[in-house]
Every structure is written in C-alpha cells, then in structure tokens.
Structure 1
Amino acid sequence: AVTAAPWLTLMQQTAPAAKLCAIIHAGRGRYNWAFFDADDLYWRPTADDHAGGTGEDLIAALHAVEAPAIWLTGESDPAVAAAVAPLSHVTLLDPVSSWRRAGQLARLAALHFAAGTEDDLAALQPLYLRNP
C-alpha cells in the first residue's frame, strides 16, 4: 500500500485549530497554497484544490475566503509577512511551522495508513511539474 502525503497537507497539520492556508514556495517569486478546514483531518487536496501564483495572487485569495480568521502556515518569507500584516483576519504563524519535519510526515502517514487510505502511484502529480 502506498500513501502520499502532500506537503501542503503536512503544513496544515502544524496548526489544526482554525481555517488554514498552507503555503509553499514554488520558485521565481511564486507560491502554491491550499485552504484547509480545521475539522477535516483526512481531507486530501487534489491538484485542482491547489492554487498558485504571485504574492499578490495569494493576498487576493486570502481576501476572497469567507472565514472570520485564517491562519497562514508554511513557507512564509518577509514579503509574505509584510503583505499580510494589514489583514486583520489573517495570522501568520511562527516560521517553525514551515519545517518539513520527518516526525510530522510520519504521524500524518500513520493516520492515513490506519484509516486505510491508499493512493494510485500513477495518479500522483508533484506540484513542481505544473506550469506556473
């Protein structure tokens, strides 16, 4: 059995108490992100659930989400921190949330194995293979 844990899902697991936006760097000043509900531990975003774009696109996405509070977690940087500072409904979590820790990945994988989640290797699509 194979279980693939997407990196954005791993980022979400670092703070599962609010509507979350997990972000990762996509290179060339771009980001990938996905939104997660706090109570949906086993939700697995598909390629269509991921969004990508510039920092401005990310800020527009944060404005568009109807949620009283959003926690931004993952691979933030000074540009993202400055851009979200005026957004009163967005909290940028501590940079430690961006660490890709083996223990976090192992915990998430164990939960999916216990739930019987399996992935088709042929259907997996790394985000870095998508066009910007």
Structure 2
Amino acid sequence: MNTYTVKASDIKRDWHVIDASGRVLGEVAAEAAKYLMGKHKPMFCRNLDCGDYVVIVNAKKITVTGNKLDQKMYYRHSGFPGGFRQEKLGDLLKTKPLFVIEHAVKGMIPRNTLGAQILAKLKVYEGAEHPHASQTGVVSKES
C-alpha cells in the first residue's frame, strides 16, 4: 500500500461566498482562513496551496463582541520620527472595513511565501455586490 501525495495538478478550487452581515469578526475570519488554506478538504497538504477562493460580502455590517469597538487598537508606524499612529476598531470599521477583515484573516494564515499565495485568493467587498458572481460558488451556510 502506497501513501498518496497530493500534486498541484490534483487540486480543484471552488469559490466560497461568506455573508458577513451580523456575524462576529473572528468567526468570519476563521471560516475564511479554513477555506483559504484548504483545511476543509480531505486532501489537505501543508506544503501546497490547496485552498479555495473566498469572497466576503457585506463587510460594513460585521459585528464585534464586548467593548472592542472602543478598546481594540490598530497600530502602524511610517518609519519617520513621530510617525506612530493608532486607531480604534470602531473608527477603522467606519473608514476601512475591508482592512479590518483582511487583517483578521491575515493573522490566521501562515507567515511565509505560501501564506502570501493563500491570502491572494481572498476577496472582500463592502456591499452585497461583487464581480465574482459568474464563478460557480458555494454560499456559506455556517453562522
């Protein structure tokens, strides 16, 4: 009996549409990361990008639990003296809701070159409309 090894030619990619309206940020990010990495497939392989494409719609309508809107901070630095900036999650959700979801999913993906390939298959949109409607997709039933 031989061990089966997944080849890149054996990988079939599907499209998953996740509706984020009224759902918690971490749950949506975890579900998206699972589909992006391919952990839902029986032929999951850590050294290959065997995941699917994920489209997240209604990013503006995402929710968070507790006091995270006021307490959770996002930090960045320009590299110049005095260039440290911080923003609250509530402010960031009003101005850049796509960044919040992408940042949450990015934290659940491996930090290497394969992770960059995996993250490229993530598409996030503010409203319900997206340009990937012609793809044969699977609408997420998890909630």
TM-score, normalising length from structure 2? 0.30
More helix by share: 1
